[in-house]
Amino acid sequence: MAPPAYMKRRHWGVLITLCLFVLVPLAVTGWYLWAVATDQYASTAGFTVRQDEGVAATDLVGGFAGQILSGGPGSDTDILYEFIQSQDLVRRVHQRIDLLEHYSVHWEEDPILSIRPDASLEDLVWFWGRIVRVSYDQSSGLIELRVLAFDPQTAQMIARAILDESYILINDLNATARVDSMRFAQADLDEAIAKLRRAREALIVFRIRTQIVDPETDLAGRLGVVNNLQGQLAQALIELDVLMENTAIEDDPRVSQATTRIKVIRERIAQERATVTSGTATINGQDYPTLLAEYESLLVDREVAEETYRVALTALDLARDSANRQSRYLAIYVSPTLAQTAEYPRRITILGLAALFLVLGWSILMLIYYSVRDSK
């Protein structure tokens, strides 16, 4: 028969550590939560940054100008998310609502959920992260805001103040975007005008230097001479054929004249063609092919400059139209709520988490202790 089991020293040690590391802290936590912790009310708000599509600028002008006119609401929401947690916003809200006065009223009896009455702005920014919870879904661009305060009216006031300051930030972003779009569009237009002016001046200089308004028209005139000579050649050949049919004398002078005329016409046609194609004809030391290539290059430069000017002018008109309307705005899908009951601190949840982590910590310490003891 086995003897009755009795509590040994190691058992008492385990029980004492359980009381010291689990039960006592859990009891202190429960006492604080139900006897000391001040009730907090939550005000919830939901909003996002939307952009008025307006005219499809990218379809009309494309490129860089279109990118200027069509902003990025995603990046604006990122800016707003960081702004809500910034010191600048804390300072602005504190100027409207005395945060220290409200959150330090229970400092004597509840220093954990309160802040010191003489806290600095940096301390207030740190405390801001405890009373203002911000969740941001980057895929949808939705921001959900939750503000905790000791009474529901103050929580709602702080939430509204945050929304008001967010409105101001969005308006500032609109103003900055309008100024930037107008400045960039005007700079693009000025550059396009300068390019168009230089292209037209270069074409005028070319015409003054060559004394030719349009080399293509001049070339067409030269080719017209060739066409005329070809017509005369055909007529002369017909006349020669008629003479050959009607004369029986081999040494008829008319046949000799017709043959000579045909020869001269053919030589003239060959010379006219050679002056155009081989570059023997020159104007101010430049042959026709070189002049035509230079003229075509100048025409291309002028057409590109004109198209660039039209695009820049359209972009400026769109930028001016965008500057006259609100392109970004704050869309609120949940207005700041007014709580009816105090939901915070979540006492049961906090107590359960505290019990879980205390038991886990105590179990790990016991395992480490017995592992070290058994290894000796």
pLDDT in tens, 236-257: 888 777 777 777 556 667 777 8
Retrieve residue 368's tokens. Answer: 């480490």
The closest of 147, 167, 152 to 45, measured between CA atoms, is: 147
Which residues contact residue 365 at a Cβ distance below 8 angstroms, ignoring those fewer than 6 apart? Answer: 17, 21
pTM: 0.64
Residue bearing tokens 């010291």: 20
The DSSP 8-state label assigned to residue 158 in this structure reads: H
> 235 pLDDT exceeds 80?
yes
Per-residue pLDDT, averaged over 22-46, amounts to 92
Question: What residues form DSSP beta bridges with 149?
Answer: 41
Q: What are phi and psi of 264, to 5 degrees?
A: -65, -40
Which residues contact residue 192 at a Cβ distance below 8 angstroms, ignoring those fewer than 6 apart? Answer: 305, 308, 309, 311, 312, 313
- 151 shares its domain with 239: no
- 328 shares its domain with 256: no
Per-residue pLDDT, averaged over 260-287, amounts to 68
Is 361 a domain residue? yes
- 350 shares its domain with 308: no
> 215 pLDDT exceeds 80?
no
> Are residues 292 and 216 in contact, defined by beta-carbon separation less than 8 angstroms?
yes
Is 32 a domain residue? no
- 171 shares its domain with 294: no
Q: Which of 50-64, 161-175, 282-296, 335-349 has the lowest mean pLDDT?
A: 50-64
Question: Across all residues in the chain, what is the average pLDDT?
Answer: 82
**Beta strands at 132-137 and 142-149: parallel, antiparallel or unpaired:** antiparallel
Q: For the chain, how many structural domains are there in total?
A: 2
> Are residues 338 and 43 in contact, defined by beta-carbon separation less than 8 angstroms?
yes
> 161 pLDDT exceeds 90?
yes
The closest of 298, 349, 319 to 64, measured between CA atoms, is: 319
Q: Which of 68-77, 83-92, 123-132 has the lowest mean pLDDT?
A: 68-77
Q: Is 62 left (phi over 0), alpha (psi -120 to 50) or beta?
A: left
- 53 shares its domain with 184: yes
Is 195 a domain residue? no
Is 267 a domain residue? yes
> 273 pLDDT exceeds 90?
no
Q: Residue 354: give the domain boundaries.
A: 40-189+320-370
